[in-house]
């Protein structure tokens, strides 16, 4: 196992899956290891757990379902985090995704362990206002009360949390998403010839605008019968807004969409696409659009928080109305009508924007600054009472 260097203690990272850590957080894990920290992961076990362990990362299984709203099981999850953190005694707890951010942070605060959180998006609880929203607001308010830093990926989410009293403004910071590896995601020419290919990279969730994507496909096909509509992402997702398998199979059987499954390496699919689409209802900072832009693909997406930070309308892509298949279809038809030269120019502008604003090195630097400060000043920034 990887041992921390003298003077560099253990740090815990917690998320809702090993897949999440492996696909979105490896940059910070590697940077921490290089400095000398011992990195420990708390997450459900999946087919990416072994990959993390091969990197010299200690792994402790914390089993839960993201969609579960049982108070009993959430209380048991809180106790599991508390028991593990009491045993590990890390210098810092770094939480990603909702349940680790809430219950992991509460457990860490009780034990006097400094906490840093990343709110990568508001999720279903804040898209559909109701009782769950009110419960989530109370839980976040308690969990983030003494966090050293709470990172947000766009300012609209940050301001909403501050306005609702879920976190003090002085504890918040902005991150340019999870960053893009600009050496790995490089520009490629647009595909030549027909058919025109749209690609949606997202989990199969209603909140990602999958229904609107299918509705738009029907409309676009009336004008361009050979156009192809692909979806790359997990089906059968552990989420209350998951698209049922039977519905997905029906769309595929109808010939409306192609489901490409899921992949750790999305680059070949972006390279084969003419345009990347994201009709999401709300985002933190959508990595799919950042990666598409890094590879010089024009994009079509909804005019919602998070997406607006990535897409410069009519420069790097086209924005459309949220929850509207006809508006999405109009933007997709407009993209086709631009022609290859204008679409290529959009793609180049997208690459330039990602290089300026969303490189992975800046994301890593902000994490390391916050971690270094929290570890050096635990009494001031953590739940340790004076």
∠ Cα 371 373 379 (to 5°): 110
Examine the pLDDT at 382 and tell me if it is beyond 50.
Answer: no
Mean pLDDT in residue range 128-135: 75
Global pTM value:
0.90
Determine which of 126-130, 195-199, 322-326, 357-361 has the lowest per-residue pLDDT on average: 126-130
Higher pLDDT, 57 or 382: 57
Sequence-distant (6+) residues with CB within 8 A of 55 are 2, 29, 30, 33
Question: What average pLDDT does the segment 52-71 reach?
Answer: 88
Is residue 384 scored above 80 in pLDDT? no
pLDDT for the residue 121: 76
Closest CA to 192 of 258, 271, 269: 271
Question: What percentage of the chain has pLDDT greater than the value 90?
Answer: 83
Residue 95 sits at φ, ψ, to 5 deg, of: -105, 140
Q: What is the pLDDT of residue 386?
A: 26
Measured distance between the N- and C-terminal CA atoms of the chain, rounded to whole angstroms: 36
Q: Which residue has the higher pLDDT, 126 or 110?
A: 110
What's the pLDDT at 383? 40
Rounded to whole angstroms, how far apart are CA atoms 36 and 153? 27
How far is residue 327's CA from residue 323's CA, in Å, rounded to a whole number? 9
pLDDT digits (tens, 9 = 90+) for 183-192: 999 999 999 9
Taking residues 349-359, what's their average pLDDT?
96
- Whether pLDDT at 23 is above 70: yes
Residue 347 host element (H or E): helix 340-357
Return the CATH architecture of domain 197-357: 3-Layer(aba) Sandwich (3.40)
Q: What is the pLDDT of residue 128?
A: 60
pLDDT of residue 6: 53
pLDDT tens digits, residue range 73-101? 999 999 999 999 999 999 999 999 999 99
> Helix (H, G, I), strand (E, B), or coil: what is residue 382?
coil
Whether pLDDT at 126 is above 80: no
Topology of the domain comprising 10-179+360-381 = Rossmann fold (3.40.50)
Summarize the confidence of residues 356-385 as an average pLDDT. 83
Strands across the sheet containing 58-61: 58-61, 38-43, 10-14, 92-96, 115-119, 149-152, 172-174
Pick from 116-125, 190-199, 233-242, 308-317: least confident: 116-125
Query: What pLDDT, in 10s, does the model give residues 315-342?
Result: 999 999 999 999 999 999 999 999 899 9
- DSSP annotation of 359 reads B
Over residues 110-129, mean pLDDT:
82
For 241-293, the pLDDT digits (tens) are: 899 999 999 999 999 999 999 999 999 999 999 999 999 999 989 999 999 99
In the chain, where the domains are located:
10-179+360-381, 197-357
Q: What confidence score (pLDDT) does residue 180 get?
A: 93
Amino acid 2: pLDDT = 43
């Amino acid at each position: 196992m990887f041992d921390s260097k003298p003077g560099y203690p253990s740090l815990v990272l917690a998320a809702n899956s090993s897949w999440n850590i492996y696909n979105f957080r490896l940059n910070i894990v590697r940077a921490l290891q290089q400095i000398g920290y011992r990195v420990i992961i708390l997450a459900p076990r999946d087919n990416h757990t072994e990959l993390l362990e091969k990197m010299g990362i200690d792994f402790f299984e914390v089993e839960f379902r993201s969609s579960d709203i049982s108070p009993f099981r959430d209380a048991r999850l809180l106790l599991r985090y508390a028991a593990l953190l009491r045993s590990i005694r890390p210098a810092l707890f770094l939480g990603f995704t909702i349940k680790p951010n809430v219950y992991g942070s509460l457990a860490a605060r009780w034990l006097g362990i400094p906490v840093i959180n990343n709110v990568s998006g508001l999720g279903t609880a804040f898209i559909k206002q109701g009782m769950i929203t009110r419960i989530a607001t109370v839980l976040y308010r308690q969990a983030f009360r003494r966090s050293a830093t709470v990172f947000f990926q766009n300012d609209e989410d940050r301001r909403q949390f501050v306005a609702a009293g879920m976190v003090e403004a002085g504890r918040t910071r902005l991150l340019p998403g999870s960053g893009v590896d600009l050496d790995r995601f490089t520009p490629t020419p647009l595909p030549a010839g027909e058919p025109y290919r749209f690609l949606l990279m997202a989990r199969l969730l209603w909140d990602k605008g999958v229904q609107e994507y299918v509705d738009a496909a029907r409309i676009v096909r009336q004008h361009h019968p050979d156009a192809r509509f692909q979806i790359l992402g997990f089906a059968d997702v552990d989420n209350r807004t998951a698209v049922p398998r039977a519905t997905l199979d029906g769309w595929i059987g109808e010939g409306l969409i192609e489901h490409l499954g899921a992949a750790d390496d999305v680059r070949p699919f972006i390279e084969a696409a003419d345009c990347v689409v994201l009709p999401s209802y709300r985002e933190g900072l959508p990595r799919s659009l950042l990666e598409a832009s890094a590879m010089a693909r024009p994009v079509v997406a909804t005019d919602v928080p998070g997406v607006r930070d990535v897409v410069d309308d009519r420069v790097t892509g086209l924005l459309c109305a949220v929850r509207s298949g006809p508006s999405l279809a109009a933007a997709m038809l407009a993209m086709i009508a631009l022609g290859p030269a204008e679409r290529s120019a959009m793609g180049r502008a997208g690459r330039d924007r990602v290089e300026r604003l969303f490189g992975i090195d800046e994301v890593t630097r902000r994490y390391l600054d916050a971690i270094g400060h929290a570890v050096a000043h635990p009494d001031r920034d953590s739940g340790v009472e004076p």
